[in-house]
Chains A and B, each alone.
Chain A
Amino acid sequence: MSEKMLPMREALRIALREEMLRDERVFVMGEEVGQWQGTHKVTRGLLEEFGAKRVRDTPISEMAIAGAAVGAAMMGLRPVAEMMTLNFAFLALDAIVNHAAKIHYMFDGQFRVPLVIRAATGWGNQATATHSHTPEPIFAHFPGLYVGCPSNPADAKGMLKAAIRDENPVLFTEFIALYPKPGPVPDDEDYIVPIGKADVKREGKHVTIVSFGSGVDWSLHAADELAKDGVECEVIDMRWLRPLDMNTVFESFKKTNRCVVVEESLPMYSFGSEIAAQIQENMFDYMDAPVKRVSAMDVPLPYARDIELMALPNADKVVAAVKEVL
């Protein structure tokens, strides 16, 4: 399969463009997606190519962006709505969790809501408390919605295509820190990363590290460090927070009997909490150590650089956590 080295934002742009070429029903709407070319430049060039009907600049109206996307999706269109950042999606929480996620069930299957809501996520460069959320677990709490978050450009392309082609609503989040990072991306226009399938990024037998998004790089760096001391880590990129591919985690855990969960999100009621709970419920007989979580500190993020970094996870913290469970 031929591939190119591309940054994640370009892989996402290509996925959007190819899906718009493939399916007339696919259109993009959101804040600054058109004339501005996208806040993170994921929609660059699309307005020129597809016109204002299919690349729709919206007012700063998060509730209506999500809600109108729901209505258009119910009518059979395939909206890809951009929230600019996931911090702003809090304003649209009702439209996402009460409407996008529940309409198929609430009316017993009469309506489908095949939409994608894209949003940038993660802490940035001193973006401060209200702009520094990584709240995927909040959205993954609700049945009816899928939640995906790629850790690399190839997955970004394949996951976004899977999300657009699926009949269900998908919240798709993109780490700001990963947008410029290059990686090999398949040229295949039908390159799909199936919804709900995790990826074993590195095999190992001593400890299982489970992560997603930005946490995957920290985990892989930590695994490199630990390998110098002869510790072999298995690193799993979950890719989708819902559906959550626990079978891949369980299979790994049966081999390693130890687990560290790495996430950029806050620690309370988190991705890590869920993984840990499911392991102790299902894998108790295999456990040789408590599941350790590496998360952001339980504080709002501050502005000052040194203390901001203090609050966040990194590869060193992952190394320390692995050493604790060995």
Chain B
Amino acid sequence: MATLKKETLLEWYRQMFLIRLFETKCDDLYKEKKITGVYLHLYSGHEATGVGALAALRPSDHVITAYRDHGIAIAKGVDPKPIMAEMMGKKTGTSGGKGGSMHLASREHNFWGGYAIVGGHLPLATGIGLACRYNETDEVVISFIGDGATNNGYFHEALNMSQIWDLPVVWIIENNLVGMGTRIEDSSGQTELHKRAIAYNMKDAGRVDGQDVIKVNEVVSQAVEYARTTGPVLIESMTYRYKGHGVSDRSYDKRLADELKEWLENKDPIQLLAKTLKAKYKGIQKELDAIEQQCAVDVEDATQFALNSPDPTYEDLISNVYVQS
């Protein structure tokens, strides 16, 4: 904390606030039927985990995640405009309108994508880590993992393989306590998920308060340095999902009313950082206001960009099935 500059904290504040506004806008646009389809998984509530973790990376480092990927794309530096365009299935989207909200990616940012088969991206992270070592670089990969994904075979196989080959992978479980709707205690024999590291003789970085961006960054930074030089690390970040599993989950606020209230009022990552900043820097409110206003402009610009972008065509439908030689 002592070494963190004010500018760094404000940048994290900006990213978290931008993600929150972006996700809120997506929710609105879905209700207005501007974003369509059956899937839209919002990152609201998780912001500190994504932002704090990715701030530990160099631009040359890699990240991969599951389908709750909007916030990860923003935190890795992808422009909100093509992200929003992808939400709307536009040709200007990150994936040309072919991927949708679950399949954002940006090669130039080393963001290797959002994936929609639970656990399916975990061995891809192992393979990316393998390539980092194979090419004798000191790059690392962060792979986010939902708590629900820790119970399928991909998790076991991918983590074990990363350990036997000492690969530079930082595995971060985003534990928001529920799968779609099933509670962690009803799906995992061991509910302290970081302890899964023991099974692989992997470095266990323990549990971190996933709502505290400063703590997340501290733990992940140490893990990233360990991964660069030594091997994989498992971290469990305790966080909470403010919205339903996806937009089709319409009963989450009734189902989780008391718990949701507690997290919103006392553990909100954006409010926590604002509180820290205000205690540390007098008169910072003006700067926070300016950041929030700029975020609102950015989200509105992204929305207009997406609304005004062209739809993909028949040529897009049939292109990139194969690499043409």
Contacts and interface: CB of A to CB of B under 8 A. Distances in A.
Interface of A: 27, 53, 56, 58-59, 61, 63-77, 79, 94-95, 98-99, 103-112, 114, 143-144, 146, 166-168
Contacts of A63: 123, 153-154, 157-158
B206 interface: no
A221 to B, nearest CB: 35
B158 A144 contact: no
Contact of B98 (A108, A144, A167): A108
A48 to B, nearest CB: 19
A64 B120 CA distance: 9
B186 to A, nearest CB: 24
A58 B95 contact: no
B134 interface: yes
Contacts of A61: 156-157, 160-161
Given A99-B124, A166-B325, 10 more contacts: A59-B164, A63-B123, A64-B157, A67-B157, A68-B161, A70-B127, A72-B131, A74-B112, A107-B113, A109-B323
Q: Which of B98, B120, B130, B316 is most buried by chain A, counting CB atoms within 10 A of its CB?
A: B130
A207 B95 CA distance: 48
B122 A67 contact: yes
A168 B123 contact: no
Contacts of A69: 127
B199 interface: no
Contacts of A59: 157, 160-161, 164
Interface stretch (B15-23, B36-44, B103-111, B289-297): B103-111
Which among A27, A63, A167 has the highest number of chain B CB atoms within 10 Å? A63
Among all A-B residue pairs, the 9 with the closest Cβ atoms: A71-B127, A67-B123, A108-B96, A75-B131, A64-B157, A71-B124, A68-B127, A61-B157, A167-B323
Contact of A64 (B106, B131, B158, B316): B158
Contacts of A143: 321-322
B323 A95 contact: no
Interface of B: 64, 94-99, 103, 105-107, 112-113, 115, 117, 120, 122-132, 134-135, 153-154, 156-158, 160-161, 164-165, 316, 319-323, 325
19 contacts: A59-B157, A61-B161, A63-B157, A67-B157, A69-B127, A71-B124, A71-B125, A72-B131, A75-B135, A77-B134, A103-B113, A104-B320, A106-B99, A106-B113, A107-B103, A107-B105, A111-B112, A111-B113, A143-B321
Contacts of B157: 59, 61, 63-64, 67
A79 B161 CA distance: 16
A99 B322 contact: no
Contacts of B117: 94, 98-99
Contacts of A114: 323
A110 B325 contact: no
A166 to B, nearest CB: 7
Contacts of B165: 56
Contact of B120 (A53, A67, A144, A167): A67
A168 B113 CA distance: 19
Given A107-B113, A110-B106, A166-B325, A67 B127 contact: yes
